[in-house]
Structure 1
């Protein structure tokens, strides 16, 4: 992930949100949320890639599994972007900004189910660790209980997908 905050700094709230969060705090939270949004977008693209390109004896099962995963991630992407807007900031929406902010790598093409599952497990766990690293800070330092609560829910979803993938990997 880039440590350059220029991606977020170039965006300003369309209307100041008067929700009791200091502007400097909502800006810091927006950067965290936009980083998460970027991770979710990269993960979504990777899951779609795997959905289209998986091969092997479990093709249909994995094809459907990946479809359920990317549909859930698509909903999550929308929720994260809307959370950024709720606290008064623009949600990132350009691919180059997603790549700049994301912790995740797109990775090489692979049709191997085990390699795909290992890659996705690593991504879900990376996102889980990122959220866990910031939830207390968002609640305590930035005084944004709403974003804290929201992120805990997102973290639980990534923990669930990681569990499913670990079960596949045995």
Structure 2
């Protein structure tokens, strides 16, 4: 038995929000994979500090991915969860080679900034629908990715 969703946000708005959140989820997942990959494969004089920093970042992303997916579900839509779906939705390039440590840092800074741009775009339909829960979630993501991008860029100065 299906129960109609009546949370004060129209189906049209919920669909628009879920579609944009799906892009944020895909970008976040790809960033998670990139960060975890670099955590495993970083080498060089900054190994220890970058290894630990990348671990903090991918651990935070793992929790965020779950929150984003659960928000999509709360809006009554299916959260993408396959590599095929993520590949179709993401705007973040996958890394298959093993760059040097500072190139890893640069790529992660760029990828965090991409998640920021994707999350900003997702704010529009959430604001239009007065969806405070999604706005709050996206605002938290903006804060985290802004700080992470800044911290990564600081290694390169």
- TM-score using structure 2 length: 0.93
Equivalent position of 1:5 in the other structure: none
Retained in 1: the 8 A contact 2:13–2:125?
no
The CA deviation at 1:136 is: 3.5
Q: Secondary structure at the match of 1:91?
A: coil
Retained in 2: the 8 A contact 1:56–1:113?
yes
Residues 126, 80 of structure 1: CA spacing in aligned structure 2 closer, same or farther, 3 A cutoff? same
Retained in 1: the 8 A contact 2:22–2:79?
yes
Equivalent position of 2:144 in the other structure: 157
In 1: Cα distance, 2:68 partner to 2:4 partner: 19
The CA deviation at 1:109 is: 1.6
The CA deviation at 1:169 is: 1.2
Equivalent position of 1:78 in the other structure: 66
In 1: Cα distance, 2:124 partner to 2:24 partner: 16
Equivalent position of 1:143 in the other structure: 130
Equivalent residue pairs, number: 156
Structure 1 unaligned blocks of 5 or more: 1-13
Retained in 2: the 8 A contact 1:16–1:88?
no
Equivalent position of 1:103 in the other structure: 91
In 2: Cα distance, 1:66 partner to 1:26 partner: 34
Retained in 2: the 8 A contact 1:44–1:74?
yes
Q: Does 1:115 align with 2:86?
A: no
Moved over 2 A (4+): 14-17
Retained in 1: the 8 A contact 2:21–2:72?
yes
Equivalent position of 2:77 in the other structure: 89
The CA deviation at 1:131 is: 1.6
Residues 113, 15 of structure 1: CA spacing in aligned structure 2 closer, same or farther, 3 A cutoff? farther
Equivalent position of 2:26 in the other structure: 38
Structure 2 unaligned blocks of 5 or more: none
- Which stretch shifts more, 15-24 or 150-159? 15-24
In 2: Cα distance, 1:110 partner to 1:103 partner: 20
In 1: Cα distance, 2:134 partner to 2:33 partner: 25
